[in-house]
């Protein structure tokens, strides 16, 4: 008997009662963080070809997970480097918490803008 297209592509069947059923499994779905979700909204609205290609090939989730991981790493590194350059230290936090909070909020906002323009909306 000739192999089916499913078998030619590497698929297998198992016998259940009198029926041969295909062995199908879902890929592991990893939760997507906020950066990946923001990028998903962007590509759905502005890059529909990319979105359709990723969705139809089953690579959308891994793509968004990679984007999320890359953006989070970049954001953390930027915040750390900017804080170090601007002298925002634990000593400042101990001496003047409000000044430390204000500076850290400004640093995080600047880092978020960089990540958005370089990774999320690029």
DSSP-derived secondary structure for 84-113: HHTT--HHHHHH-HHHHHHHHHHHHHHHHH
Query: Is residue 1 pLDDT above 90, yes or no?
Result: no
Per-residue confidence (pLDDT) for residue 99, from 0 to 100: 96
Report residue 84 as tokens.
Answer: 């170090």
Per-residue confidence (pLDDT) for residue 67, from 0 to 100: 97
What is the overall mean pLDDT for the chain? 93
Neighbours of 81 (CB within 10 A): 12
pTM: 0.75
What ranges make up the beta strands (E) of 1-122?
Answer: 13-16, 19-22
User: By percentage, how much of the chain surpasses pLDDT 90?
Assistant: 76
In the three-class reduction of DSSP (H, G, I as helix; E, B as strand; rest coil), residue 26 is classed as coil
Per-residue confidence (pLDDT) for residue 75, from 0 to 100: 98
> pLDDT tens, 45-98?
999 999 999 999 989 999 999 999 999 999 999 999 999 999 999 999 999 999
Query: Is residue 29 pLDDT above 80, yes or no?
Result: no
């Amino acid at each position: 008997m000739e192999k089916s297209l499913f078998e030619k592509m590497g698929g297998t069947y198992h016998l259940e009662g009198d029926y041969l059923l295909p062995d199908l499994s879902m890929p592991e779905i990893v939760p997507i963080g906020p950066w990946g979700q923001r990028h998903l909204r962007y590509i759905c609205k502005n890059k529909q070809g990319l979105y359709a290609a990723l969705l139809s090939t089953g690579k959308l989730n891994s793509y968004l997970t990679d984007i999320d991981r890359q953006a989070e790493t970049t954001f953390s590194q930027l915040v750390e480097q900017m804080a170090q350059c601007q002298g925002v230290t634990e000593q400042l936090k101990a001496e003047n918490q409000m000044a430390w909070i204000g500076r850290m909020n400004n640093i995080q906002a600047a880092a978020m803008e960089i990540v958005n323009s370089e990774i999320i909306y690029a």
